[in-house]
């Protein structure tokens, strides 16, 4: 089973969806009464808006964290989840979409049609191995992938606090036992080197790369995000805009909402980070079936995709995702051609059953 290098590059561009993935259980409104039953303290931040619907103030870091805790407990049986102060608190519905779409990508490699029937169509179970580059203190992608499909995860991070937090989450929840572990990337200039062991094989890698190019740019972006969320919450709730602090941008975004430096920025921003990832992926072409990364801006694909041709990948795909008005995409590349992908799937996980 060898990857194919320097063959004609093939690509596939999926159609843009109008909403969350068809298998995403978060596609409807939040069931706040059910969520409050599993996490009673959530009730303290839930309010009724003018339309009679229950909601939270999404610009409030505590409210967002409590909502996440309730969602993880109710839908994923993850009862022990928390974050160190100042670390990124992710929106779960959009994170789940990434997991569902890469599940479809694995099904594509195995020659399976992507379908709603997970047990019959999606490769699942512990023999499917995933590497999460920049796992973060929240450990969210491994949680979702382990609980939705039973996959086994390795996470990497350059932040010792994030590694400790993620490993603690994995250790405290029996539903994640044996499925998640996080490793410290000691060299911030490396992505796969020092993390992927010589004999280790991964079916897919995932990454939510740092977007901004500098700390100053990251702070400005966080301020805009908090302000926009506050305005949006004010429109949908009984709060007044001034009550939410949305009449002007805060001088500094709340740290426990905006994320740490490594989560938000790196020199050169998203394009530089993904470029390094692409270049380094050639060293591990035989050890991984698919490499993937979120790409926040459509224009960045124009810069990134030509590099894939230069690197000699056998196939790349762009998966478009949409959550409300927010659009993002996943760039995926493999050094294995169609036959190589089918051979990989047959050898590693066809016939797997969910544990």
Closest CA to 194 of 246, 157, 145: 157
- 90: domain range? 10-25+84-210+266-348
Answer whether residue 318 is part of any domain. Answer: yes
Residue 246 confidence (pLDDT): 30
Q: How many domains does the chain have?
A: 1
Q: Which two tokens stand for residue 203?
A: 């079916």
Closest CA to 145 of 175, 110, 112: 175
CATH of the domain at 204: 3.40.50.150
Sites in the chain below the pLDDT cut of 70: 1-2, 4-18, 113-120, 211-268, 351-355
Answer whether residue 319 is part of any domain. Answer: yes
Answer whether residue 181 is part of any domain. Answer: yes
Answer whether residue 46 is part of any domain. Answer: no
Q: Which DSSP string corresponds to 30-56?
A: --HHHHHHH-GGGGGG-EE-TTS-EE-
Answer whether residue 118 is part of any domain. Answer: yes
Residue 351 confidence (pLDDT): 57
Residue 99 confidence (pLDDT): 97
Closest CA to 123 of 26, 204, 236, 235: 204
Residue 107 confidence (pLDDT): 92
Answer whether residue 300 is part of any domain. Answer: yes
Residue 337 confidence (pLDDT): 96
The CA distances from residue 78 to 104, 176, 291, in Å, are 24, 8, 27
Cα(288)–Cα(336) distance, rounded to whole angstroms? 9
- pTM score > 0.75 for this model? yes
Residue 13 confidence (pLDDT): 53
Answer whether residue 238 is part of any domain. Answer: no
Cα(298)–Cα(220) distance, rounded to whole angstroms? 21
Pairing of strands 129-133, 152-157: parallel
SS3 percent helix, strand, coil of the chain, rounded to 5, is 45, 15, 40
Residue 323 confidence (pLDDT): 83
């Amino acid at each position: 089973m060898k990857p194919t290098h320097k063959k004609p590059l093939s690509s596939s561009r999926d159609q843009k969806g109008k909403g969350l993935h068809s298998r995403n259980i978060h596609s409807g409104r939040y069931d706040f009464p059910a969520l409050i039953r599993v996490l009673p303290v959530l009730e303290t931040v839930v309010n009724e808006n003018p339309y009679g619907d229950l909601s939270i103030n999404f610009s409030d870091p505590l409210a967002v964290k409590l909502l996440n805790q309730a969602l993880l407990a109710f839908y994923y049986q993850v009862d022990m989840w928390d974050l160190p102060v100042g670390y990124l608190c992710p929106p779960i519905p959009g994170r789940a979409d990434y997991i569902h779409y890469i599940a479809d990508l694995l099904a594509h490699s195995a020659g399976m049609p992507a379908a709603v029937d997970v047990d019959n169509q999606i490769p699942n179970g512990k023999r499917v191995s995933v590497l999460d580059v920049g796992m973060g203190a929240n450990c969210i992608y491994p949680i979702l992938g382990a609980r939705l499909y039973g996959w086994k995860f390795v996470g990497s991070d350059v932040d010792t606090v994030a590694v400790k937090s993620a490993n603690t989450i994995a250790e405290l929840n029996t539903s994640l036992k044996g499925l998640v572990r996080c490793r410290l990337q000691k060299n911030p200039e490396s992505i796969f080197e020092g993390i992927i062991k010589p004999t280790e094989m991964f079916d897919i890698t995932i990454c939510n790369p740092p977007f901004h190019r500098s700390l100053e740019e990251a702070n400005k972006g966080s301020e805009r995000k908090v302000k926009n969320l506050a305005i949006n919450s004010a429109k949908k709730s009984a709060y007044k805009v001034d009550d939410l602090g949305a009449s002007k941008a805060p001088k500094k975004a709340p740290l426990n909402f905006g994320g740490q430096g490594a989560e938000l920025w790196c020199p050169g921003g998203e394009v530089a980070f993904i470029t390094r990832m692409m270049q380094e992926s050639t060293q591990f072409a035989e050890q991984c079936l698919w490499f993937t990364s979120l790409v926040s801006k459509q224009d960045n694909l124009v810069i990134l995709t030509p590099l894939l041709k230069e690197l000699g990948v056998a196939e790349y795909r762009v998966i478009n995702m949409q959550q409300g008005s927010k659009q993002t995409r996943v760039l995926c590349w493999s050094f294995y051609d169609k036959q190589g992908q089918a051979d990989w799937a047959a050898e590693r996980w066809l016939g797997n059953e969910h544990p």
